[in-house]
Structure 1
Amino acid sequence: MHRVVALLGLLLAFPLAAQPDLTRRIGSTVADTGVTGWRFEQFRVGSRDGLRRYRVRLALPDAPAPAAGFPAVYLLDGNAALMEIDAALLATLSKAMPPPVLVFVGYDNDLRIDAEARAYDYTPQRPGGEEAQRDVPGGRRNGGADAFLDLLETVIVPKAESIVRLDPRRRTLWGHSYGGVFALHALFARPRTFAGYAAADPSLWWGDGQLLKEEDAVASWPSPPPRLWLWVGEGGERAPASAPPSSTRDPAAVEAMRRARGSVPPDAARRMAERLRRSGLDVRLETLSGQSHGQTLGSSLHRLLRALVEPPAPQASAQEQR
């Protein structure tokens, strides 16, 4: 009886209203309407296994490229990220010297979030063979992060650089939730690929805390070391965008999620930030007060883009920003 009550309580902790709407479509964006001072281009690529296709949109400033090239920000969940960009933000970015190129790496469909594809692309392989590569919420296939990182490095980044001159020393990667898992995995596995890594409310519980093990395995950082932005929401992470609605969850799935979340402490992000600072990284950790997991997507993206074009604020201490 106590077990049933506990499981019911956990189900209630994931209210249906808090679940992402996986049927939501991207609709019309600034890429369709146009913005003065910017132009948009796009290209499509396929995954090596032929199971996923990507539409990559570039927001290009209407300005001469500097000799070293524009800084570039690669945005995962590109459809959702594009929905967060408006004309006012682009007007602000256009005043930077130089403004950044925004590279929206999305799936080649009209879904805001492609839960099936991102559950595979954004998660690294776990020990235990193919049977271990299953998502706790929803049972979707995991383990494609290294293949997707290869695609970014060898296809998407070079193609973007063939369209516009980009500065490889000012290349940043941003991701939210499972995208944050991918950003941290890329930081730990291939820290030279990007100059900056940005993880918004990353699902550190994924893989029973596997990212903490990957962090521990890093022997050293390149010189100069990359920068890390890390955001967490005070509203608490509900279910990731790969989770099924609460009404379809069975007790076994709920119990598996409970165990996964219990694999890391509630302040795992803060502890990670402190360890990485001690290891020599410039880490900017910020708690987004009162924001739910889903709300951190847009707010973190806006904060990152403004941070990249504004003079850096002095860091009074290594304490978490609030």
Structure 2
Amino acid sequence: MKEARLKPVNLLIALCCLVNSALAATASAPSGYALENTEVRDIRAQALNRDYQVYVALPDSYREGNKRYPVLFVVDANYAFPIVRNIAQRLNKHAGMEEAVVVGLSYAKGDGGVYSRRRDYTPTVPRDQNYRSDMLGRQAAFGEAAAYGKFISGEVFPFIAHNYRVNMERKIFIGHSYGSLLGLQMLLTEPRTFDHYILGSPSLWYDAGTMFERERAYATKNKDLPASVFFGIGALERLAPGKKRSRSEENADMVEDLREFDGLLQSHRFPSLKTRLRVFENEDHASVFPFVLTHGLRAYLRSSK
């Protein structure tokens, strides 16, 4: 049987129909929403042999002059960057707070969010190894906070300073949960990495309370801790009634852990340390971050009102 062949005219009509269908599909596809005055930059972590992105939000007045702005560095940027950008902008417009550049630090390219943050934000490999990986074929990774902190200070800082008008003498770290562990890692090793730390709901139960051990070790060797820290947590982040408190995720009382940790810092009477702790009523681990952020920014950024 001979193959059926389209006549040239019919072939032309068929091709036109295909093109029109493709154009119609393209025209009807919804476009993505983009935040104004934001940029995405790729950056290579040379020592870590990994690729990341930084998300940058510029103030409304950035194009108008030569001013250098305070800079906010926020981890867990995949969810936290738009929150920080929008709240900082709103505080400027409606509360007169000074403007700032916002820099979001993404998860590593090719890694799941849980996998990346567990590895990059935690200070130790936990003694309890009962963790499942969120990435097939790869074991869960932990304990690279020190190396990731060096990536921030050694590679991200110069990149931001070179490409944007920022005041690198006024750097703010913003973290929550595991992100706050990363902040504490830097606070207790290189406290001058940032000028102000906003730390929400730190996972102080992690690895049987390893951060308490690190706090004691720092206090043994140092007579000062030059830092400004705002701690915030939800009042509902408590241990359920009837359970015995311990340094474990299942039986942690995160509110009492944070009160204890802040009390230890204050007990050493470090001359240059300033801490504030705020417990937000009716908020839990999932809902408290915007409150911590707002009050943490107010504790550092100036307001004209």
Q: Same fold (TM over 0.5)?
A: yes
User: What is the alpha-carbon root mean square deviation over aligned residues?
Assistant: 3.3
Secondary structure of the corresponding residue to residue 217 of structure 1: helix
Equivalent position of 1:220 in the other structure: 222
Equivalent position of 1:142 in the other structure: 142
| TM-fit CA distance, 1:73 | 1.0
**Which amino acid is the alignment partner of residue 114 of structure 1?**
G
| TM-fit CA distance, 1:295 | 1.1
Q: 1:134 to 1:158 in 2, by over 3 A?
A: farther
Q: 1:220 to 1:165 in 2, by over 3 A?
A: farther
Distance 1:299 1:137 in 2: 30
Q: Aligned residues: percent identity?
A: 23
Is 2:290 the counterpart of 1:298? Answer: yes
Query: What is the aligned counterpart of 1:274 among 263, 267, 277?
Result: 263
Distance 2:299 2:98 in 1: 13
| TM-fit CA distance, 1:108 | 5.7
Deviations 1:165-221 (A, max 9, x none): 322321111111000111111100111111111210010000110001111111336
Q: 1:98 to 1:114 in 2, by over 3 A?
A: same
Gaps of 5+ in 1: 1-26, 127-131, 239-256, 313-322
Query: What is the aligned counterpart of 2:301 among 303, 309, 312?
Result: 309
Equivalent position of 1:60 in the other structure: 58
CA contact (8 A) 1:75 1:175 kept: yes
Distance 1:307 1:90 in 2: 16
Equivalent position of 1:163 in the other structure: 163
Secondary structure of the corresponding residue to residue 189 of structure 1: coil
Distance 1:88 1:203 in 2: 24
Secondary structure of the corresponding residue to residue 107 of structure 1: coil
5 Å-filtered alignment, 1:1-322, equals 32-34=34-36, 39-48=37-46, 52-61=50-59, 62-63=61-62, 64-66=65-67, 69-85=68-84, 87=86, 89-93=88-92, 98-107=98-107, 114-126=113-125, 136-138=130-132, 140-218=140-218, 219-220=221-222, 225-236=226-237, 259-260=248-249, 262=251, 267-278=256-267, 279-280=269-270, 281-311=273-303
CA contact (8 A) 2:45 2:155 kept: no
Distance 2:41 2:128 in 1: 30
Deviations 1:27-55 (A, max 9, x none): 966xx141xxxx22231123446664321
CA contact (8 A) 1:237 1:293 kept: no
Deviations 1:50-70 (A, max 9, x none): 66432111111223343xx32
Distance 1:157 1:80 in 2: 21
Gaps of 5+ in 2: 1-30, 134-139, 240-245
Q: 1:266 to 1:297 in 2, by over 3 A?
A: closer
Distance 1:206 1:307 in 2: 27
Secondary structure of the corresponding residue to residue 309 of structure 1: coil
Equivalent position of 1:241 in the other structure: none
Distance 1:115 1:231 in 2: 22
Which piece of structure 1 moves more, 190-199 or 229-238? 229-238
Secondary structure of the corresponding residue to residue 210 of structure 2: helix
Distance 1:215 1:80 in 2: 29
Distance 2:288 2:178 in 1: 13
**Which amino acid is the alignment partner of residue 102 of structure 1?**
V
Deviations 1:55-108 (A, max 9, x none): 111111223343xx3211100001211232465751432675741111111126
**Which amino acid is the alignment partner of residue 280 of structure 2?**
L
Deviations 1:11-33 (A, max 9, x none): xxxxxxxxxxxxxxxx966xx14
**Which amino acid is the alignment partner of residue 220 of structure 1?**
N
| TM-fit CA distance, 1:303 | 2.6
Distance 1:154 1:175 in 2: 19
Bigger relative contact order, structure 1 or 2 (CA pairs below 8 A, ≥6 apart):
1
Which piece of structure 1 moves more, 43-52 or 165-174? 43-52
Secondary structure of the corresponding residue to residue 291 of structure 1: coil
CA contact (8 A) 1:120 1:142 kept: yes
CA contact (8 A) 1:59 1:103 kept: yes
